[in-house]
Structure 1
Amino acid sequence: MTPQEFARHSWQDSAPAPTLPSLDTLRARSDAFRRKIVRRNWIEYAAGIFVIVMFTAMALLIPVTALRVGAAMVVAGTLVLLWQLHRRASPLTSAEHGGALSLLEYERRELIRQRDALDSVFTWYLLPLLPGMLVVMATPWLSMPVAEWQLPPVGVAMRIGAALAVFGAVYLVNKLAARRLQERIAEIDMLRA
């Protein structure tokens, strides 16, 4: 086979270029993704309000100083978390009258925004809660006189370990979700090429 025949044969056998989805498909996909983000955020806001109410009550009603401080730290961390959720992960306003390319660009930007929020979840979602949760869980240990401090009691160590495991799971789930969003971004980039 000559080089020209090989090139012609390779060109004819190559996969067809991906086709741009219809405008209706892009709108439907974009709207579904936006609804998913809004629903997720409202669930997070509701959970945050619940945490704020419960830990505020704990800070006001329980007479143990370490627990009160830890609960106040959790409330402060939750407020930071909710503010960051709104700032980083609220959906963008969609292009109202754009064509297929502007919708595709909107979807790509939204995917990038959400991917970045999920990818950095440790710094803005988990880290603000961590100090307060550790203080709350270590309250039995912290309530002892300093002279009696030894290794944390088994119950405290287990609670801290369980909380860290949950935090680790949240981190991993968000990293996996960010990876899936990156795959969708790559698909859009192939369409745009």
Structure 2
Amino acid sequence: MTPTPQSQSPDPKNLWKEQDMQPQTMTPQMLESRSLEFEDRIRTRNKREYVIGSIVAVVTVAFGTWMLLSVAAAPSSLMTGIGFILLGLGAAAAIFQLRRRAGGQAFIDGSSNTSAAYRAELVRQRDALRSIFSWYVAPFLPGLLLIYGAGFFEPDGIEWGTLIPGFLTVAFGIWLVRANHKAADGLDQEIKGLDARG
């Protein structure tokens, strides 16, 4: 009995090379759908930020004012009260900048083609994310520095109750900036993909 020749099975490592790859064409409908989905995500994010920022602004200004009016005029108490007021003003500034730099826009308005309008909004959001330290984090710094710096004027000196929250705040700020830079990189890839298809 003669052996039957084994059938040649394709090598899985080279299988992808043998596939007929067609570049994906973005239709106007696909672009419009992506653009509207992106716009919806931006609006949802911004609404959440506006609500949280407004609450922070009102509560911290009210608390800072209460501190200044009701506690003894010790340097640490004055610094903490002023710090909370500045923190609230910083929150208001961050909200204003968020609306100015990254507020949602109507991407598809008929005045420009869908691809160009979508790309322009991606670039705007990417640039806002990359510069987040200067317009979103920095407005909070004067208030935070005064609040945490007030611990240096306590009669008993600096305590871990001041240092630990300070370190946690710095760590959160670093994480926030890095997370937004990562999101900006993702938008950059989307922009490059659009440019490659266009």
- Counterpart Cα distance in 2 of 1:96 and 1:88: 19
Aligned to 2:195: 189
What is the total number of aligned residue pairs between the two structures?
A: 173
AA aligned opposite 1:25? M
RMSD: 2.1
Bigger Rg over Cα: 2
TM (norm. structure 1) is 0.82
Residue by residue over 1:85-108, the C-alpha shift from the partner in whole angstroms, topping out at 9 and shown as x without a partner, is: 011001233233368xx1111111
TM (norm. structure 2) is 0.80
1:124 aligns with 2:129: no
Q: Secondary structure at the match of 2:139?
A: coil
Aligned to 1:87: 100
Residue by residue over 1:74-122, the C-alpha shift from the partner in whole angstroms, topping out at 9 and shown as x without a partner, is: 11211211111011001233233368xx111111111100000000000
Structure 2: runs of 5+ lacking an equivalent? 1-17, 72-76
AA aligned opposite 1:27? E
Q: Report how far residue 154 of structure 1 moved.
A: 2.3
* Alignment counterpart, residue 121 of structure 2, candidates 107, 110, 118: 110
Aligned to 2:10: none
Percentage of identical aligned residues: 27
How do residues 31-70 of structure 1 correspond to structure 2 at under 5 angstroms?
31-62=36-67, 63=71, 64-70=77-83
1:175 aligns with 2:181: yes
1:73 aligns with 2:71: no
- Counterpart Cα distance in 1 of 2:57 and 2:183: 27
Aligned to 1:4: none
Paired residues of 2:65 and 2:85 also in contact (CA < 8 A): no
Q: Secondary structure at the match of 2:45?
A: helix
Q: Secondary structure at the match of 2:99?
A: helix
